[in-house]
Chain A
Amino acid sequence: GENVEQHPSTLSVQEGDSAVIKCTYSDSASNYFPWYKQELGKRPQLIIDIRSNVGEKKDQRIAVTLNKTAKHFSLHITETQPEDSAVYFCAAPAGGGGADGLTFGKGTHLIIQP
């Protein structure tokens, strides 16, 4: 099955600076890479995703990049704001290109310092 590694486990940045979270995956057949944001006591919510036919996707202050050769993908948040503080999870299909759930990274606790 798929193995997803996520770094760093904790990231503290000054408000207004950029934050980058990185993930690697093991199965070259994986074709879909979502990112979820989870606030304390709440459910994980999808914030952006990327499919393997593109290398980058942007949505306002959030972007995701994918390097299929190296099997890694990254979340970029620019002009960080206090409401960006949360735990962020990356994920990949558990069965590579199959249809049996998502395997998640262990999460990154993003702290935005005022």
Chain B
Amino acid sequence: NAGVMQNPRHLVRRRGQEARLRCSPMKGHSHVYWYRQLPEEGLKFMVYLQKENIIDESGMPKERFSAEFPKEGPSILRIQQVVRGDSAAYFCASSPQGTSGNTIYFGEGSWLTVV
């Protein structure tokens, strides 16, 4: 039973380029969460999605960031026109249902470096 799969693990982008991070949830999980972790800091909630629906995007910056979880395929976090401040680890997590009493499991993370 494969865990949460994220790719790429490491991504380097120049300022102004686009970054696309992908996440495949655990088998049987239909809820996906994206978190950002800056160096030496905690986990900041960005967005919560179910298939074809964004449930809560209150933690996501209003500009340049978007997320989707299509009917087929992985969830994608997209960052347009990246800036140095976007450099961080981006963790995806999944759960079989919402977090009211349910565990969420994290992927290995995608480390974005903006140069």
Contacts and interface: CB of A to CB of B under 8 A. Distances in A.
A46 B100 CA distance: 16
Contacts of A44: 43, 91, 106
A75 B107 CA distance: 23
Interface of B: 31, 33, 35, 41-45, 48, 55-56, 58, 91, 97-109
A49 to B, nearest CB: 6
A22 B66 CA distance: 35
A35 to B, nearest CB: 11
A75 to B, nearest CB: 15
A61 interface: no
Contacts of A31: 100-101
A85 interface: no
Contacts of A93: 99-100
B109 A32 contact: no
